[in-house]
Structure 1
Amino acid sequence: MQWKPNTTVAAIIERDGRFLMVREHTPHGVRLNQPAGHLEYGETLPAAVAREALEETGYPATATALVGIYLADKEDSADITYLRFAFACDAAAEPDDRQLDAGIIEAVWLSADEIRAQQASWRSPLVGRCVDDYLAGQRLPLSVLHHHGH
């Protein structure tokens, strides 16, 4: 059997020194994460991150740069690995009036220090790593991504 990691996307949305984050119900309790989720069949990575940001926060968003690509094992499973593409995104000034994805408690704007102070509730260690890489100025142009397919 061929092993395949779960491909996910995450939106790093910063405004005035604060990051748009979500609090969500998980099997391990309430966790803090960037707006993030799985790549769907036929989607481009930038389209996937825009969709996930909208579904989880209500904010229409657009990817502007690739912050990083991260490979991480799921902490409570020996056979699940995530391949995360984190994107810097611009978002609309206000959220749409929509029902957020199931499991999402709220979208919240937090400073980097506030995010770091809640490390015990991060969905994964990638939450902090993505913020740190963003703050370090790590950016790749979207032109490094190529989608050939449907």
Structure 2
Amino acid sequence: MADSSTPAEIWRPHVTVACVVADGERYLMVEEAVHGQLAWNQPAGHLEDGETLADAALRETLEETGWTVELQHLIGVHQWRSTEHGDAVIRFSFAARAVSHDPQRPLDADIRRATWLTRAEIAALGERLRSPMILQSIDLWLAGRRLPLDALSHLPEGGAP
């Protein structure tokens, strides 16, 4: 038990967002450098302070792929302990529709490329997938999981209850 003069250590998982962007049977994926190794992921990243989950998903997708997308649904919220760094991760997965692409836009420094792959091609990447949440979110989307975006809410700082 913590001393009453010292605040207890508070557990803080990483809060991340990701987008399943489908084009027919293909999905937008990124190849990225992670600790000197190449790994595959959906457009994804961390929620920044003051940002809504939806805004984070839109920003990360644009920064990692050059694609502007429109969020359509929440697919799910996933809890996982990363094998990469050992910390807990809470991931909000969204379904999004590709709107436009800027091939001249510089991508985040760790991104090697963005490309479209089928589910079979993604599954074949095996250990090169950054997390099991990649296939899980695609499979939930394929199974028809469509949660309304308004299931998430954001209260602005200082907002009245």
TM range (shorter): over 0.9
Give the CA deviation at 1:93. Answer: 4.0
Q: Normalised by the size of structure 1, how large is the TM-score?
A: 0.95
Q: Which residue of 1 aligns with 2:4?
A: none
> Which entry has the higher C-alpha Rg, 1 or 2?
2
Indicate which of 140, 150, 161 corresponds to 1:143. Answer: 150
Write the letter of the residue equivalent to 2:91.
R
Cα distance change, pair 98–76 in 1 and its aligned pair in 2 (3 A): closer
Report Cα offsets for 1:10-66 as digits up to 9, x if no partner: 010000210000000001610010000000111111111000000000001121100
Query: After the TM superposition, which of the residue ranges 47-56 and 131-140 deviates more from structure 2?
Result: 131-140
Distance in 1, Cα, partners of 2:106 & 2:71: 22
Query: After the TM superposition, which of the residue ranges 94-103 and 30-39 deviates more from structure 2?
Result: 94-103
Report Cα offsets for 1:88-143 as digits up to 9, x if no partner: 01112433521000110000100011101112200011111111111111110001
Distance in 1, Cα, partners of 2:117 & 2:103: 20
| Unmatched segments (≥5 aa) in structure 2 | 1-8
Note the 1:9-48 alignment, pairs <5 A: 9-27=17-35, 29-48=37-56
Write the letter of the residue equivalent to 2:94.
F
RMSD of aligned Cα (Å): 1.2
Secondary structure at 1:8 match in 2: strand
Number of aligned residue pairs: 149
Note the 1:79-98 alignment, pairs <5 A: 80-98=87-105
Identity %: 41
Write the letter of the residue equivalent to 2:60.
E
Does residue 50 (structure 1) correspond to residue 47 (structure 2)? The answer is: no
**Does the CA-based 8 Å contact 1:73-1:82 persist in structure 2?**
yes
Give the CA deviation at 1:146. Answer: 0.6
Q: Which residue of 1 aligns with 2:136?
A: 129
Indicate which of 111, 115, 120 corresponds to 1:108. Answer: 115
Give the CA deviation at 1:76. Answer: 4.1
Q: Which residue of 2 aligns with 1:60?
A: 68
Q: Normalised by the size of structure 2, how large is the TM-score?
A: 0.88
Distance in 1, Cα, partners of 2:15 & 2:100: 29
| Unmatched segments (≥5 aa) in structure 1 | none
Does residue 120 (structure 1) correspond to residue 92 (structure 2)? The answer is: no
